[in-house]
Structure formats: C-alpha cells, structure tokens
Structure 1
Amino acid sequence: MQFTVTTTAGLERRIEVQIPSTRVAGEVDRRLRDLTKTANVRGFRKGKVPLAVIKQQYGGQVHGDAVSELIRQGYSDAVNKENLRPASNPRIEPIQMEPGSDLKFAAVIEVMPEVSVKPVESMQIERPTAEVTEADIDVMLESMRRQRVSYEAVDRPAQKGDRVVVDFAGRVDGVAFEGGTGTDMAVVIGAGRAIADFENALIGMSKGETKTAPVKFPDNYGAKELAGKNAEFDLTAKTVEGEVLPVVDDAFSQAFGIAEGGVAALRVEVRKSMERELAQAIRNKLRTQVFEALQRDNQIDLPNSLVDEQIQQLQIDLLQRMGREDMSQMPPRDPFVEPARRRVALGLLIGEIARREKLQADREKLFARLEEVAAAYPNPEEVKRAYLQNQDAMRQIETAVIEDLAVDWVLGKAAVTDRPTSFTELTGFGRQG
C-alpha cells in the first residue's frame, strides 16, 4: 500500500491511498471462497456451490464489500503510520475502483490542532468573598412568605400588589383583535405577567368599576402584528383582593418541612441552603474567570467539524428545552456559532491541561460529583440510578470533574486576590429592579 498526505487548508488533510490490484483480488477471492461454504443456491447443496457460480451470482456485491473493507483498512493504516489525530470522520473520494485495477481513493479529514497552554502564573483572578448574614436570611424568609401568599377581598381601590379579577375588551384602531377579549382574568398588579400599561390601568379601580384605558404593546411583544401598537381596553373590575402573607411561626416552619425547633430551626436550615448556594456562586465566578483567561491567553485553530457538532448539539438542546421534537423547527445556527467555538476551544485547553498534569476523574471524585448533582432533586436515589445507567450522562459528570480539577490547578498557580462582596451581589437574590 502506498499513500501520500497533503495539507489542503488549515487543519484539513487529504490522504491519497493506492492499494495494489493483487491485494484487492486476494481479498475478493477470500470472501468468495468463504461464501461457497455458507451460500444457499438452488440446485446445490450448502457448502458444495462451485466457485464459478458464486462469482456469477455474488461477484459484484463481494467486490464492493471487499473494497469498502480495504478502504477502511487503508485509511486506518495511513492515519496510524503518520500519527494523525482525526477530528472528524473521513470524507471518502473514489479515484479508481474498477475490478482488476489498483484501488485508489482519497480520504479528506480535519486533524486535531496542536494545543499548548501558556504558563498561568501571571493570570489575574479575583476570588469573591462573602458570608450569609442575618439580613440575607430575613430577605429569603420574606421570599418564602411570598411563595405562600393568599388574597382576600378588600373594600378599597386597587393598589400595587393587589389581585384584580377583570373583564376586558381591547381594540387597535377601533378594531377588536384576536386574544384581546376575556373574562375573569386574575391580574396581580406589578407582577409583570401582563403588559405594564394594562396592569397600571387597574390601579385605583374599585369592585364593579368600568373604565377605558390606553395600552401600548411593547415593541418586542410576542404577537408581531401587535408589537408597538397603541390599543384601547374596556376594563371592568369584578373583584379587588389584597395580598395576605403568612406569619413566620412554627406552623410556617412546618410547611417547609421543619418538624421540630420552629423558626430557629428553619433559620438554621435556610442558612445552610444559602451557604451552599453562595459557595456554588463563588465557584462559578472563579470557573468563569479561569475559562475566559485560558481562552484569551491561548489562541487555537479549531476544527470546523467539531464546531459544527457543537452547534448542532446546542440547537438540539434548545429545541428540547422548548418542548419540541420536530427537527424541522430547529432554531437558526448563527446565534450558536460563537458559543460553540468557545466550548470547543475550552474543551481542547482543559484536555491539554488534564493530559499534561495527569488529572483524572477517579471513582471517588465521580461519585462525589454525582451526589452533588442528585442532591438538587427531590428524588436523589432515582437520579443517581438514572445517571449510572446512562453512559452519556456519566461522561458529562466525568467532564465536569476534569474541569474542576483543571480549575483547581490553575487557581493553585495563578495570582488570586480576594474581593469582598455580598450574597445578593453574587447570587442576584434579593436585588431590586
């Protein structure tokens, strides 16, 4: 077998392979002789079919199968002898395939780039530092109260935070539009679930009152035919209800699973949960900084095939999150190009660090990460079983562990300075506006 490897562009390689006709003929003959032992041909006993009959009936198919196998072997041998690292499956281009002649073909591939990670000692990383305060816990408890808000009728005009049950009929340029009429719709003023002008128009209305109010649809409104349009709505307030928040007491604590210890025990559990969230937020900030710095300091040629695979995976992920299965509804690829390139580059850099520093996701680390993932669900044992039965899911766990090890390695060498901050700044919880 003879072959040549040519660099056609960037990471693309063209491998041209020539396999002697004698080897092709030998492979075809071997397969034909094997077939004489197993073929069922009318008029002949099994295993007694003459070779000439087998050639007549199966010669074309056998030649095709032999060529396919020789192409596979020839490509594999060339890749191994040249120490190539394919990033994609080969695109096979036939050159000469006729029976009786040498087999010639080309295999076009992309190869993995050479990856070198620069020293990280000069990398500047800010480590956020914060603690969960009693005030943070108070804000969290207030949020928990709002999870259990109820409403009761009030004899006064509606104000922000009230729930108004309303009948409505809307018009644009004096013409009713689809979805613009409804009855008994409950609207919490200020919750942002309805158009802002619509919610604000309910402020000051009393039970039984009717009014006509101008409402402007936002420019980014979902129904494009209404986006940015000015409308008028006839509104009738059926009921006005004020919010009632539960008292934080023993009964409230029990509603959140605290069987003993009352409010004090609830605050302890809330603190533990918030401290876990804070630790994860700090970790995420550090990971983001490390990843961004690695990609900024280390430019890599990226195989288009890997980027295309990642784009498709991101498209499928979004499609699934939208609850759709029809591949014809796949979102456009353009918004995913840069995120895909970042993911591929980061994967190559992390892989190089792991290889060079011999970072491994051993069994103990894998199961520790699996425990963390499962703990976020109501049924952790079921989640763990599901992961353990899914190789792709466990590969994701392994990737996450390797990423963590690489981040720890970088943080151990980089210039890390602490920056005091707060639970609210790090998590966004409790932030106003």
Structure 2
Amino acid sequence: MATAVETLDKLERRITIAVPVADVQAEVEKRLKVRARTAKAPGFRQGKVPMKMVAQQYGYQIENEVLNDKVGRAFNEATSENNLRVAGYPKIEPKTDESAAEGTIAFNATFEVYPEVKIGDLSKAEVEKITADVSEAEIDKTIEILRKQRVHYHVKGEQSAHGDGGSDLTAKSGDRVTIDFVGTIDGVEFQGGKAEDYAFVLGEGRMLAEFEAGATGLKVGETKTFPLSFPADYHGADVAGKTAEFKITLKQIEWAHMPEVDAEFAKSLGIPDGDLGKMREDIKANLQREVLNRVKSRTKDSVMDALIKNSELDVPKTLVDQEVDRLMDQTRQDMAQRGMKVSDMPFPRELFSEQAERRVRLGLILADVVKANELQAKPEQVKAQVEEFAQSYEDPQQVLKYYFSDRSRLAEVEALVLEENVVNYVLGKAKVTDKPVAFDELMGNNAQG
C-alpha cells in the first residue's frame, strides 16, 4: 500500500500511498446499496429509488468518503510500520506522474515528524529563584487601598454625618468636581470637546494635567478659560498635537471621606466580629498567597528559559502553524468579549509566530523531560492542588466539586502540577541563585488594588 519513506527535510517526510481501484469501487457499491434503503426522489417511495439515480445523486460524495477512509487508513498503517510519530496533519495530494501501478490510485502524503529532543547538562543551567516577603508595611498599604475602594463623597461646605469638608471651598486634589466644559480649536468646537455635568476626581490622572490644573482652585459657580496642548500621540487623531482653548464652569465640589479602620470596616471585609487583629491576619494570608503564586510564576519562567537555552531540537512548522491559529482564535474571542468588532480587523500571522514557536518548543521539551524522568502528575498531587485552590473560597467543597466533576477542568490542574514537577526537578539539578524581589515590583505596583 505504501512505498518507502522519503526524507525531504530535517523533519519533513513523504510517502506514496496506492489504493486499488477495485477496492474503492467495491466499497462505493456497498455504501450506495446502504444509502439506497433510505434514498428519496420525486415519484418514488423511500427505498425504491433506482440504483442508477442513487449513484447519480450520491456517487461522487460516497467515492470521496471511501477514498478518504482508505487513504487515511493506509497512511496510519504506513507510519505505524515505519515507527513514525506524525506531528500535526499530513498534506495528501493526488500523484500526478505516471508512476502509479496499473489499477491503482496514487497519492503523495507529505508530513512532519516529531523531533529528537536533546536536553543539555542541567547542572550547568543557571536559574533565578525569586523570593519576596510580606511585611507590616505591605499590610498597611493594602488597608489604605481597601479604604480608597470604599471612599464616598459629600458636597463641600454642606454639613453631613462626616462633617462639611472644612472651610476651604476651592477644588483641590482628591475632590470630585462636576463641570461643564467646551473646547475650541481656532474658534471652532470639535467632536468630544464639549460636555455638561461631567464629573471626575482631581489628582487621579483621568484628565490631561493642564485640564486638571484649570479646574484646581476654582469655587462653585466660577468659570475659567485656558489653553490646552494635546500630546502628539493623543488617542484622538483629530486633535493630536494641536492646541485648544477650553472654557470650564465649576458646578459642584465634593470632598472624599474614607472609612475609619474600625470594627465596621473589618466587618465590611468579612470579619464577622470586627476584630482588627483578625482582619490584618486575613489580609496578610491573602497577600502571602498572592505573593507565593507570583513567586512561583516568576521562578517557573526562569526555569523554562533555562530549559530552552539548554535544549536542542528542530520545531515542526505544522505544529507552529496550528498554535498560531489557536492564538489568533483566542485573541479574536477575547476582543469580541470586550465588545470590539473583529470581523474586519486584520490579524497578521507574524504577530503570533514568535510566541507560537516558543510554546511549541517548550511543549516538546517538557514532554521529553516528563517522560524521561517520570514526572507525570500523581492523583494525590492533583487533589492537593485543588484543595489549595479551594482555601481562598468561602465554600471549599463547591470548589472541589467544580473540578472533580469535570475531566477537562481536572486536566488543567494536572497540567499545572506537571509543570511544577518539572520546575522542582530542574531546581534540584541547576545552579540556583536566590533573587529577592521587592513586594511592589513583584505585584506590579497595582496588584493590591
């Protein structure tokens, strides 16, 4: 059925598949007879349509199905006989020359095979193991962020349960102001340059600095006109790099009141008895959990970089192409979920090529390391990982049920455990250097919010 294997490139192979015409015809006739039992045609009862008409209606489709089945079976047999591990899908095309034996239909099957992976001496690999601590200062910062998240506003100058905001009735940083504004360029209003009852908080950076400066220091009812230069890279192309004149009228000033760190505040964070000590312990535990996850992630990245650097292999183009397709589909879905129209948006494949190649390369390396060192995820490891996930939820049993009731969800956990097994294995072999990282740097300066 198949000829010898031809080597076209490092990983590319080709075999010729010859399918006997008589076998194809026999199978086509067999399937046509089966189809005839349920075939319908005007003027005939179901199952009574003449075979000639059945062949005219279904013959081409059934012949293609038979050829696909027989070629696919022959391809699988040939690759199995030759101990070939096929990467991706083969490209099967009819053979156009005259070399096919009489009474056969010949096809060329071109495909790639999985590469040999050579892992270097891991004792020479250099890996950074990230470390980070959670101090009382980090807990204090987090409490401040939590207070800011619960801020509420009172009209400045009016008495409220929390006071009147003081005697200074001008707008300043931290106040929420409500304004009317209109902007013009060369005396002409432009799109997006006018609004009424527009509210924003001074000092948050939502508006351009010149705009915030224009509102700062005004009292309710006051008006101010000032120039504003839009940056050259401003998102509004029509005004980017131009200077506008804005006129603003201040209509309301509200001052910010943040809750006190007391029992009520602790209760709002889920501490039933309002104990501030328990609140701090709870915050610390959450921060430590997040720090641990980020430390593991950064250390894992270092390990993966070391594995790539210390490995030699050729990467199948077919697998890279498939990964590019997957990344493109994922990106489209993510953008569509954010409400963006992606149907007419171009997605150049080269934007995803480097990431796809790295993922495929790393996947092949990991598979080799796991197989060679028996690092597969054990059931008890998977169970422990799920239980760890469950600790951060109010109802851990629901989390356990969520994972163990769905094989695909459990497979995601198994993949995480497998990666951790590889990381621990490499850390046990490589030259490991502890690298302390500041809390704010590890959390990206905004992770606490």
What's the TM-score, normalizing by structure 2? 0.84
Match for residue 421 of structure 2 among 405, 411, 417: 405
Mapped to 1, the partners of 2:130 and 2:316 lie a distance apart of 36
Query: Does the 8 Å contact 1:16/1:106 carry over to 2?
Result: yes
Please tell me the residue identity of whatever aligns with 1:185.
Y
* Residue in structure 2 matched with residue 235 of structure 1 by the alignment: 248
Answer whether contact 1:148 1:246 (CA < 8 A) is retained: yes
**Map of 1:246 onto structure 2:** 259
Give the whole-Å Cα distance in 2 for the aligned partners of 1:407 and 1:14: 38
Would you say 1:115 and 2:112 are equivalent positions? no
**1: CA distance, partners of 2:321 / 2:27:** 41
Query: Are the counterparts in 2 of residues 315 and 330 from structure 1 also a CA contact under 8 Å?
Result: no
Residues of 2 paired with 1:57 and 1:431: CA distance? 64
Aligned partners of 1:179 and 1:395: how far apart in 2? 49
- Matched residues in 2 for 1:70 and 1:267: separation? 68
Give me the whole-angstrom Cα distance separating, in 2, the residues matched to 1:53 and 1:28. Answer: 17
Which residue in the other structure is 1:84 paired with?
84
Q: Which residue of 271, 275, 289 maps to 2:302?
A: 289
Shift of 1:232: 1.9
Q: Cα–Cα, structure 1 residues 27 and 162, in superposed 2: closer, same or farther, change >3 Å? A: same
Whether the 8 Å contact between 1:27 and 1:66 is mirrored in structure 2 is yes
Provide the residue aligned with 1:103 in structure 2: 105
- Per-residue deviation, residues 358-391 of structure 1 (Å, max 9, x unmatched): 1112333333334445666777666665555655
Contact 2:234 2:240 (8 Å CA) reproduced = yes
CA separation in 2, counterparts of 1:153 and 1:52?
88
Matches for 1:29-178 after TM superposition, within 5 Å: 29-33=26-30, 35-36=32-33, 39-40=36-37, 62-95=62-95, 101-154=103-156, 155-178=168-191
Q: Once the 2 structures are TM-superposed, how far is the Cα of residue 427 of structure 1 from its aligned partner?
A: 1.9
Q: 1:5 to 1:427 in 2, by over 3 A?
A: same
What is the 5 A alignment of 1:289-368? 289-322=302-335, 323=337, 324=339, 326-329=342-345, 331-368=347-384
1:354 shift after superposition? 0.7
Residues 146 and 245 in structure 1, CA contact (< 8 A), matched pair in contact too = yes
Contact 1:13 1:110 in 2 (8 A): yes
Matches of 1:228 and 1:379, distance apart in 2: 54
CA separation in 2, counterparts of 1:52 and 1:248?
Answer: 88
Q: Distance in 1 between matches of 2:431 and 2:141?
A: 35
Q: Following superposition of structure 1 onto structure 2, how do residues 254-293 of structure 1 map, counting pairs within 5 Å?
A: 254-293=267-306
Contact 2:36-2:51 at 8 Å conserved across structures: no
Tell whether the 8 Å contact from 2:2 to 2:15 is kept in structure 1 after alignment: no
Distance 1:92 1:31, change over 3 A: same
Deviates more, 1:188-197 or 1:243-252: 188-197
Contact 1:87 1:306 in 2 (8 A): yes
* Residue 192 (structure 2) pairs with residue 179 (structure 1): yes
Q: Deviations over 1:382-430 (max 9, x none)?
A: 6665555655544333322211111111011112232344322322347
* Aligned partners of 1:38 and 1:46 also within 8 Å: no
Q: Which moved more, 1:6-15 or 1:276-285?
A: 6-15
Q: Could you say what secondary structure the match of 2:13 adopts?
A: strand
Aligned sequence identity (%): 37
Match of 2:227 in 1: 214
Q: Which residue of 1 aligns with 2:439?
A: 423
SS of 2:6's equivalent in the other structure is: strand
Structure 2 CA distance for partners of 1:76 and 1:244, relative to 1, 3 Å: same
How many Å separate the matches in 2 of 1:331 and 1:371? 40
Task: Assess if the C-alpha contact under 8 Å between 2:370 and 2:422 holds in 1.
Answer: yes
Distance 1:183 1:399 in 2: 53
Cα distance in 2, alignment partners of residues 229 and 383 from structure 1? 55
Partner of 1:200: 213
Aligned AA (1:7): T
Q: Read off the aligned partner of 2:187 and give its amino acid letter.
A: G
Aligned length: 429
Partner of 1:4: 4
Confirm or deny: 8 A CA contact 1:32 1:51 kept in the other structure. no
Moved more, 79-88 or 306-315: 306-315
- Unmatched tracts of structure 2, length 5 or more: 157-167
- 8 Å contact from structure 1 (residues 374, 383) kept in 2: yes
Amino acid at match of 1:26: D
User: Aligned-pair distance for 1:197?
Assistant: 2.6
- Residues 25-79 of structure 1: CA distance to partner in whole angstroms, max 9, x if unpaired? 1353255246546733899999999999987886655544332222111211121
TM-score (norm 1): 0.87
Contact 1:316 1:330 in 2 (8 A): no
Secondary structure of the residue aligned to 1:329 is coil
5+ unaligned residues in a row in structure 1: which ranges? none
- Aligned partners of 1:319 and 1:330 also within 8 Å: no
